[in-house]
Every structure is written in structure tokens, then in C-alpha cells.
Amino acid sequence: MMFNIRSAYISMIFLFLLATIFDPADKVLGLKIPLYVACWGVAIAMLLMRQEEIKVHFKLFVYILLMTGIPVTSIVYYYLINGSDPFKGFELLKGYIFISFAMLIYITKIDILKYLCPVLTMLAISILVLTAVVLIFPELFMPLYMLGGELGMFNIDSGRDYGEGVVLFQMYFVTSPMLVIAVAYYFKLAKTSKKHQLLFVVITLLNICALLVAGTRNNILAAIILPLALVILYSRKKIHTAMWIVVLSGLFVFIMQNEIEALFDPTEASNSSKLILLRDYVSILSDPIKLIFGSGLGAFDQWTEKGFTYITELTYLEIIRNFGIILGGGMILLLVYPIIYTFVLHRSYNEKNIILGYLSYLVMCIANPNLFSSMGIMFLGVIMANICMYETDRRRHLSMMAKMNPHSDGVLLASGVHDYKLKIDIR
């Protein structure tokens, strides 16, 4: 019976991941929220049948509290100082609430990457297959273009012109930036696995190619820079490898100088639009009250090109506009905490590849509003759950060592790992 209910739980998780990746706007079947609720229901039933207590890592509890508390506080602030319509705070709040996915992963101790990365690879294959279909059958371009826009799933551009002869075909899926997780995950398996190594190499290349075909500057840069960073990470001679990569990258930049200049030309339509947005932000944040306390999550402002709207593509400036320096600074600290944890506080943490993928995602979101969507927050939740499970396992390991060697009184104290957990007895 336990096998069956666990299988049901895994099935619910897999279906929820499919809905999040392939139906981000929830327009196809509208099952994202029902599936998420079902995941929680089956998980609780599974734990009840085991007659176990639910253990929630204290750090994870506080993290979730802050990640949801900051936007809620911002909404309350908006109603205190303004309260008028139009207002989209509650609509945006839904994305932040998905951070609770981290708690679901933690209490069920599931290796979520084992299920998420195959779904992302399915996305990569979909991008490549649809690209091939459009190139082979050009008459299908317009029907697919209309379908992608209607579903809020993908956007096709037969030739985005960046100038200087740089014209790129795009098969851009809204969730394609998340392919950096799959690239990082399968790169490690390709590098360290003794079995099926060639298969993992092929899957890694599939995800990299899909990032490239997605065609945005962010995706292309991530498809190039992330694998290079992973090569350095898993190299035995990191400095030597890094030097060679810098030299080869410099040579590549020299050869492709005109094309690269075209991509980052400030007069190019997209770049010009973002520069205008920057000027708008300077104007909005010149108000000391808005700079310190923000306008409130979901507040509307007047923009030069976008008109009267509540969100832009410049994610980190948007954080300051919404939350102000005080709450916005806290939000940014929450976002970079996994990076600080991995590369500064606990260098023994063994998922540096995923953290590099997450860092790539944060960089991509500089000019991409997906960070606080359900998929972006879910990515963050996966990382935080894995960090807290690592701390729990490390604590358990150190406790066993202390019992085996009672003379090593300082081993747990020296570890810096504390047993911070909230326990809910459901027996």
C-alpha cells in the first residue's frame, strides 16, 4: 500500500511539473493550482500512513515566511498609502506563494531534480522538434505562431533582426530559461557517472542546443557561459582551465566582434526600449518615499513606451520599485542566499552545478520578468529544500560520528550545524 501511495505522490509531482513547464499561463487545462493542492494532499496522506511526525527545517520555515511576508507587507503598505484601482498585487502574490513547494519537497524528502530535469529535457526536445517542423514546413509558421500566443506558451520569430546581418530564428518557450537547471544537472552526470555517460552527454547537448534555438540574448549567453563555468568547476586544474577559456573566449569575441556589437547595440529596438525604461526608473525612484519604501507590489506607474502598467522586464529595478530599498534589499538577499551559502559559507555543499545554473538564471532575469513567476519561485524552492536536506543529512552524519567516537566532544560544535527543526506530531 505504501508503494502505491508513494507512486501516486510521485505521479502528482510529475504532473504538476509538466503543468508548470508546459502550461505556464495555466490556459490549456488550468490544472496548475489543483495539481499543486493534490500534491500536498497525497503527501500528507502518505505521512499519516507512515505515522511519522512532520519535520520542517527552521531555516526553511523562516525563509518561506520572509519570501511570502515581504510581498504581503508591500500589499498592506499599498492599501495604507493608496488603495486605488487598478492594482495587481494579489495576482503577483500567487507566484511568491509557490515557495511553499520547498516545504513539500523537504517533508517528503524527494529528489525533485530527478523528475524536474527529464520534464525540462522534454521541453528541450519540443523546442528542437518544433523548430525543425517550421523550417521544413514553412506554411505551418503562422498557425503555430497564433497557437503559441493564444496558449501563452511559446513565441516564434522567423528572423529577429539585430542589425549588422545578425538575424536569428527564435523558438522561444516562456519556460526555456529553466533549461539551465537541466544543463547543470546532466553536465554533472556526464562528468561523474560511470554508467550511461554518453547518454548524459547527449542530453546535456540537447538542452544546450534548445537554449540556443530559443534565440534570446539571455538564453544564448547562458548556453555559452554556463557550460564553460561547469567545465571550470569540474576541472582538476581550475586555474589552468580558466586561463585557456579566457584566451579562447577573447579570440571568439575578436572574431565575432561585429555580431556581438550588433547584439548589444544600444540603438537596437529591444536595447533602446530597456534604456528608456532605465530613464523611467530614475524618474520614479527620484521620489525618496518610493525609493525607501517602494510603490507596493502590483502598483501601476506611467512608462514612456509601455504606458500605464504594473510590471517591466528589468526585474531587479522592479524589486526596488515595488518594495523599496528596505524590503527590496531583503528580497535580493533572499535570492542570493543560496549562492552565498554554497560558495562562501559551506563550500562542501555538493550541488555547486545546480547553484551555477541558478546563478545563470538570476543573470538571465536581469532583463526577463520570469523570476517571480511560479516557475522561477519553484526553482528557488527546489534549491532551498535541497540545501536544508543537505544540512539535515550532515547533522545526522555528524551525530552518528559522535556516538561512534564519544571522545570527539567538539565535532558537532565545530560543524556549525544546528538541529533547528519545527516538529508537528501527526501520530
Residue 362's pLDDT is 94
In terms of domains, do 314 and 414 share one? yes
Asked if 417 and 395 count as a contact pair (C-beta separation under 8 A), the reply is: yes
pLDDT for residue 153 is more than 50: yes
Is 1 a domain residue? no
DSSP-derived letter for residue 393 is H
Q: Are residues 86 and 131 in the same domain?
A: no
Rounded CA separation 127/121 (Å) = 10
Q: What are the pLDDT digits (tens) for 76-95?
A: 999 999 888 899 999 999 88
pTM beyond 0.85, yes or no? yes
Those residues whose C-beta lies under 8 Å from the C-beta of residue 144, and which sit 6 or more positions away, are 130, 133, 134, 156
Give me the mean pLDDT over the 302-313 stretch.
91
What integer pLDDT is reported at residue 327 of this predicted model?
A: 96
- 384: pLDDT strictly greater than 90: yes
Indicate whether 124 and 137 sit together in one domain: yes
pLDDT of residue 154: 81
Range among 23-27, 151-155, 178-182 with highest mean pLDDT value: 178-182
Domain end marker among 190, 214, 249: 249
Q: Domain check: are 281 and 296 in the same one?
A: yes
For the cut 60, the answer to whether the pLDDT of residue 330 exceeds it is yes
Task: Give dist(CA 56, CA 46) in Å, integer.
Answer: 16
156 sits in which H/E element: strand 154-163
> Is residue 13 scored above 80 in pLDDT?
yes
Instruction: Give the whole-number percent of the chain exceeding pLDDT 70.
Output: 91
Per-residue pLDDT averaged across 158-166, rounded? Answer: 59
Whether 329 and 381 share a structural domain: yes
Whether residue 169 is found in the same domain as residue 307? no
In terms of domains, do 79 and 201 share one? no
Residue 54: strand pairing partners = 424
Return d(Cα 349, Cα 394) in angstroms, integer.
10
**In the prediction, which pLDDT does 382 show?**
94
Residue 260 lies in a domain: no
pLDDT at position 164 is 55
For residues 204 and 187, give the distance between their C-alpha atoms in angstroms, rounded to a whole number.
6
Name the percent of the chain lying above pLDDT 90: 52
220 and 299 co-located in one domain: no
pLDDT of 295 higher than 90: yes
Q: How confident is the model at residue 167 (pLDDT cuts 50, 70, 90)?
A: low
**CA triple 319-281-377, angle to 5 deg:** 20
- Residue 195: the pLDDT is 86
Angstrom distances, CA of residue 280 to CA of 59, 284, 285, 400, 401: 38, 6, 9, 58, 58
Stated length of the chain = 427
Residues 139 and 105 placed together within one structural domain of the fold:
no
Q: Where are the beta strands (DSSP E) in 186-274?
A: none
Distance (Å) of CA 310 to CA 1, 335, 371: 49, 22, 15
Q: Is the pLDDT of residue 72 over 70?
A: yes
Q: Using alpha carbons only, give the angle 197, 201, 207 rounded to the nearest 5 degrees.
A: 145
The radius of gyration computed from the CA coordinates of the chain, to the nearest angstrom, equals: 23
Question: What is the predicted pLDDT for the residue at 380?
Answer: 94
For residue 320, being part of any structural domain is answered with yes
Does the structure show a pLDDT above 50 at 418? no
412 located within any domain = yes
pLDDT digits (tens, 9 = 90+) for 221-272: 899 999 999 999 999 888 888 899 889 888 888 887 776 777 777 777 778 8
| Tens of pLDDT, residues 28-66 | 888 888 999 999 999 988 888 877 677 789 999 999 999
Domain annotation covers residue 2: no
What's residue 3's pLDDT?
54
Query: What pLDDT, in 10s, does the model give residues 174-218?
Result: 889 999 999 999 999 999 888 889 999 999 999 999 999 887 788
| Full domain range(s) for residue 79 | 53-110+266-427
Domain boundary, last residue among 194, 214, 249: 249
Same domain, 190 and 278: no
Please give the pLDDT value at position 359: 95
Of 360, 361, 337, 335, nearest in space to 349 by CA = 337
Q: 321 and 239 in one domain? A: no
What pLDDT shows up at residue 160?
63
Q: What is the pLDDT of residues 352-377, one digit of tens each?
A: 999 999 999 999 888 888 888 888 89
Residue with cell 522567423: 158
In a domain, 138, yes or no: yes
CA distances 209 to 24, 121, 128, 140, Å, are 22, 11, 8, 22
Q: Which of 186, 220, 249 marks a domain boundary?
A: 249
Q: Is residue 154 situated within a structural domain?
A: yes
- Average model confidence (pLDDT) for the chain? 86
Q: How many domains does the chain have?
A: 2
Residue 147 forms part of a structural domain: yes
Q: Which residue has the higher pLDDT, 418 or 164?
A: 164
Query: End-to-end CA distance of the chain, in Å?
Result: 18
Q: What is the pLDDT of residue 277?
A: 92
Both 162 and 87 in one domain: the answer is: no
- Residue, of 390 and 158, whose pLDDT is higher: 390
